[in-house]
Amino acid sequence: MKTYKLTAFEPNGEKIIDEAFQAENDETAKELGTKMLTEKSLTEKTHRCTSSSGKLVLFHS
């Protein structure tokens, strides 16, 4: 399992969420990150999900 970090921001740059989670691969991390954002109604906010190696797996601005 790899560690991924999901972060969402307000337009002024303030962090709304900054959460780490585990996933088997990048595709699963993308699905889990999208699910977390949907549950918190943050899909339209600027967000990103990165792997522990720094790879960007999900992004919306």
Which domain range does residue 6 map to? 2-60
Distance CA 40, CA 52 (A): 23
- Closest by Cα among 10, 20, 5, 14 to 42: 10
- At 28-53, the pLDDT tens digits run 999 999 999 999 999 999 999 999 99
- Please give the backbone phi and psi of residue 12, each rounded to the nearest 5 degrees, phi first: -85, 0
- At 3-18, the pLDDT tens digits run 999 999 999 999 999 9
**Rounded to two decimals, what is the model's pTM?**
0.90
Q: Provide the β-strand partners of residue 50.
A: 5, 56
Tokens found for residue 4: 């991924």
Number of domains in the chain: 1
